[in-house]
Amino acid sequence: MFVAWRDLTFAKGRFALMGAVVVLITLLVGLLSGLTAGLARQNVSAVTGLPADRIAFAAPAAGQDLSYADSVVTERQWRQWANTPGVTRAEPLGITTTRANAGERAAGVSVFGVLPGSSLAPAGDRIGDGTVVVSAAAAEGLGVAAGDSVTLAGRELTVAATRGDASFSHTPVVWASLATWTSLAPPAGARGGAPTATVIALDTARDADLAAGDRAAGTRTVTKDASLAAIGSYTSENGSLQLMRGFLFAISALVVGAFFTVWTIQRSGDVAVLKALGAPTRRLLADALGQALVLLTGGTLAGTALAAAIGAAVSGSDIPFALTPATVLAPAAVTIVLGALGAALSIRRITSVDPLTALGSAR
């Protein structure tokens, strides 16, 4: 690193320019990662927070994908799953989006219908036919607290408690009884019995024969994480944002690679001299890669710090930004790794520099 370090301080302008590019790319990736995670949380936190490991959907027609919007399950299917060996708990869960009013205020909410006393909902024991539990965001949006009244699709209900921050498809969740949910959004179209809910939340043991359970109940069961793909808005939104993130990572690697390609060409004369003087190629490669890592790490740390500072500033506001190690450190690590890869590919040309060119008057 003797020469590399002095190059960094000697060619300050060039490296500062490249460092600024790395800072900006990292900042952009960091902000996009925080926003992606924040939007995802708004989309799926009600599902990911369910105390269940599997979700059973009504088996879709041939050629159709699973969908929370289309699935309707019956009481027979629920009971079938409840009696399946290896299933420790099976609870029906109804989901619908509706409008809630409280006084002058109105807000779109997702109503999650559960059995009274269910552990699927926070403070499930407070849920009854005339009572609901509202999430913090819904309570804030509607301006209600425990004991207040809230109207869901024309039906007046009492807020039993305010708990959690679950949201679904970008709307805050109101936990209601299954009977209330049914009255708000009467499901239709269930095959083989009266419709009961949207899906069945399952807790299963390792030896549970899920395939046999699906065949018997006429359902399709997936893991809770896999069920997120059945939320239409999440799939399209998350896919677009992840694509943007991927492109940013690729651009970052290409920009760093392009910079070090030009830099290596510029200093190929110096490399030839060092080789002629007896410098091993591996030492020159390590030197150049170390230089790239210093630039990448410095730029990435600065960009990440900026992204974290901006994230901290907007957290708690209406901007859905998730500031977690996963959204801050993981993109930084990926930026460094891909940037180093781009640099490594560029500085490979050091191996082909001929020390003979250092002799004579060609330089």
Partner 1 sequence: MSLELTDVTLTYPDGDTRLTALDRVTLDVPRGTVTAVVGPSGSGKSSLLAVAATLVTPDSGTVTVDGTPTAGLSRSDLTELRRRSIGIVFQQPNLLPALTAAEQLQVMAGIDGRSPGRARGRALELLDAVGLAGQAGRRPHQLSGGQRQRVNIARALMNDPTVLLVDEPTSALDHERGAAVMDLLTRLTHRRATATVLVTHDRALLTSVDRIAEVRDGRLTLTAPAR
Shortest distance (Å) from residue 7 CB to partner 1: 5
Choice from 274, 323, 338, 343 touching partner 1 (CB under 8 A):
274
35 binds partner 1 (CB under 8 A): no
d(CA 311, CA 296): 22
Footprint of partner 1 on 47-86 (CB under 8 A) = none
Among 279, 285, 289, 314, binds partner 1 (CB under 8 A): 279
Instruction: Please give the radius of gyration of the chain, using alpha carbons only, rounded to the nearest integer.
Output: 29
Among 146, 276, 285, 341, binds partner 1 (CB under 8 A): 276
| Subset of residues 337 to 356 that bind partner 1, contact rule: CB under 8 A | 355-356
d(CA 61, CA 343): 50
Residue 188, both tokens: 């239709």
Smallest gap from residue 280 Cβ to partner 1 (A): 6
Alpha helix stretches (DSSP H) within the chain: 2-10, 12-48, 75-82, 136-142, 178-184, 210-217, 232-266, 268-276, 281-314, 325-347
Q: Does 145 bind partner 1 (CB under 8 A)?
A: no
Residue 245's nearest CA partner among 39, 45, 40, 26 is: 26
Q: Which stretch binds partner 1 (CB under 8 A): 64-72, 250-258, 268-276, 305-313?
A: 268-276
Q: Does 280 bind partner 1 (CB under 8 A)?
A: yes
- Annotate 32-50 with b (16+ C-beta within 10 A) or e (fewer): bbbbbbbbbbbbbbbbebb
Which amino acid would we find at residue 48? T
The least CB distance from residue 223 to partner 1, in Å, is 53
Q: Does 361 engage in binding with partner 1 (CB under 8 A)?
A: yes
Enumerate binding residues for partner 1 (CB under 8 A): 2-3, 6-7, 9-11, 269-270, 273-281, 283, 355-356, 358-361, 363
